[in-house]
Amino acid sequence: MRVADFHFDLPEQLIARHPLAERRASRLLQLDGPSGELRHGQFTDLLGQLRAGDLMVFNNTRVIPARLFGQKASGGKLEVLVERVLDQYRVLAHVRSSKSPKPGSQILIEGGGEAEMVTRHDALFELRFAEPVLALLERVGHMPLPPYIDRPDDEADRERYQTVYAEKAGAVAAPTAGLHFDDELLAAIRAKGVDTAFVTLHVGAGTFQPVRVERIEDHHMHSEWLEVGQDVVDAVAACRARGGRVVAVGTTSVRSLETAARDGELKPFSGDTDIFIYPGRPFHVVDALVTNFHLPESTLLMLVSAFAGYSETMAAYREAVAQGYRFFSYGDAMFITRNPAARGPEV
């Protein structure tokens, strides 16, 4: 399969650079995977698609203010984007500067704080901070908005680039399908008899990296840390026993569940995953998916195509562009039921 098969033309004005006034105010494009049928509506129409006995699985990762500005002790300006927190004081980070800092060099953080460059791990720099890193980030860090939101972050992003159920700090990008849910909608979902469960996947900056190979099969995914607990395994088993569907909220929830069920059986899992789901890969757990609209030629678009079918997905995206849906992190959403006969672009 070629990466170019997953290209589509997106007008610049359809990229959502700011959130709507209300989380639930987004539009919802519903795609029935087996038939390819499309229906247009509002995000609150999701309630009508859910059934008593279903299980919704959310990613409860919390986005940290992972972007720092500063300078080397020698005076050169730089920008730090934390990729992963290693422990209380150490992180792996991307560092942008005219010249890369050398091991042992000091970094002075804008707003107060300092770090030492310890060593380099390929493209990432290991930094050790002089104070607990999460506290420093909360004090002087900036929310790490995606590169296609080409504006500085503001105070509102601290709340809106975060799900209302965010709990476990560690992500440097939001699980954006969850941004549409507010407390009132979650209460209505539970009142309908829909169960909920939470996995954790700390989304990394690699989620925005372009696929730099021509053949999909040659791409190697970046690693991200996730945890699927025994409580989630039990909730899925109970859902299956009562005839309900497992509805994943976001591609990160899909990757979490399918990583934990790689051998065909869902088991507790904690650790790194580099699972790459593209057309032809089986799904062992997820029956329906809530997701945003993704970048052209991205691994997330490939995952959706594996779930709904390539031709069905690309037709849905063409319709979304034609109907002026808002794209990417602060954009609109889709509700997709899995196509058991999903095919790739070569068929």
Residue 307 identity: F
Question: What is the pLDDT at residue 252?
Answer: 97
Question: What is the pLDDT at residue 282?
Answer: 93
217 and 324, same structural domain? Answer: yes
pTM for this entry? 0.95
205 and 71, same structural domain? Answer: no
Domain for residue 308, yes or no?
yes
What is the tens place of the pLDDT at every residue in 113-165?
A: 999 999 999 889 999 999 999 999 999 999 999 999 999 999 999 999 999 99
Domain for residue 152, yes or no?
no
Q: State the sign of the Cα–Cα–Cα–Cα dihedral 136, 140, 142, 143.
A: positive
Domain for residue 146, yes or no?
no
Question: What is the pLDDT at residue 347?
Answer: 53
Question: What is the pLDDT at residue 321?
Answer: 98
State the residue range of the domain holding 118.
Answer: 67-140
Spatial CA neighbour of 194 closest among 205, 207, 181, 204: 181
Question: What is the pLDDT at residue 205?
Answer: 81
User: Residue 27: which H helix or E strand, with range?
Assistant: strand 27-32
How far, CA to CA in Å, does 167 sit from each of 59, 162, 205, 312? Answer: 9, 10, 19, 35
Domain for residue 24, yes or no?
yes
Segments of the chain scoring below 70 in pLDDT: 347
Q: Are 30 and 291 in contact (CB under 8 A)?
A: no
E-strand stretches of 50-186: 55-59, 61-63, 67-72, 77-85, 90-97, 106-109, 114-121, 124-129, 168-171
